[in-house]
Structure 1
Amino acid sequence: MRNHVNRPPTPDAVEDQSKEPSLQEIINVKLIESGEKERLMELLRERLVDCGWKDEMKALSRAYVKKKGRKNVTVDDLVHVITPKGRASVPDAVKAELLQRIRSFLASAAL
């Protein structure tokens, strides 16, 4: 008697083709195609350096590595520890500026 392996059903190719892209996916494609995503990323980098956020994250990273020992820390460990703190400490003014730029782009792109 044969043993059966439990596997998820194979999706039909027709189902994959008929799936409409989400609004978020459409916006992301438009941002990339226009080059606006790269401009927004550069603006974000500049603003984070200007407000001292980058130096703060660097200091947190160094403190964590010093605490755990250089040989006992992987990049994944560091990312896992620093990411929540980094996201939470982005200044509201920077977030608001980026949001306004994205809204302006969407209005001009007529989405």
Structure 2
Amino acid sequence: MRRASSINRPPTPDAEVDQEQELSLQEIINIKLIESGEKERLKELLRERLIECGWRDEMKAQCRAFTRKRGRNNVTVDDLVDVITPKGRASVPDSVKAELLQRIRSFLVSAAL
């Protein structure tokens, strides 16, 4: 007698092992950054640099201007995120990006990845 396979049946242990072995390079790097604590250090460095160069104040001003234009009661956080995120990403200074990239590269070399 043949058993019907079920879509809801959990995967076999072998399938789970295969999925774990197939992590992308980006996922592996992210795991190493988190385990070492380097990700938090990089985030803190980014915060400091963005404050130093005035980026944070610029983003605050853009949020205030958008809120004033639309009316305080007509703006949601999602509205702000949708409008400000592309501008914010595009306005991060190249020097900040370069510094972070260099720190990540140094980490990868020291972690032998």
TM-score (norm 2): 0.86
Tell me the CA shift for residue 11 of structure 1: 8.6
The residue number in structure 1 matching 2:71 is 69
Distance 1:12 1:68, change over 3 A: same
Find the aligned partners of 1:55 and 1:84 in 2 and give their Cα distance.
16
Find the aligned partners of 1:38 and 1:58 in 2 and give their Cα distance.
23
2:80 corresponds to which of 72, 78, 81: 78
Find the aligned partners of 1:58 and 1:17 in 2 and give their Cα distance.
46
Aligned partner letter, 2:11: A
The residue number in structure 2 matching 1:99 is 101
Aligned partner letter, 1:18: D
Find the aligned partners of 1:49 and 1:11 in 2 and give their Cα distance.
51
Matches within 5 A, 1:1-111: 13-14=11-12, 15-19=15-19, 20-111=22-113
Percent identical: 74
Distance 1:109 1:72, change over 3 A: same
Gaps of 5+ in 2: 1-6
> How many residues matched?
103
Residues 6-59 of structure 1, C-alpha deviation per residue, up to 9 Å, x if partnerless? xxx669624454121110000000000000000000000000000000000000
Gaps of 5+ in 1: 1-8
The residue number in structure 1 matching 2:3 is none
Tell me the CA shift for residue 82 of structure 1: 0.2
Aligned partner letter, 2:53: C
RMSD of Structure 2 on Structure 1 (CA): 1.4
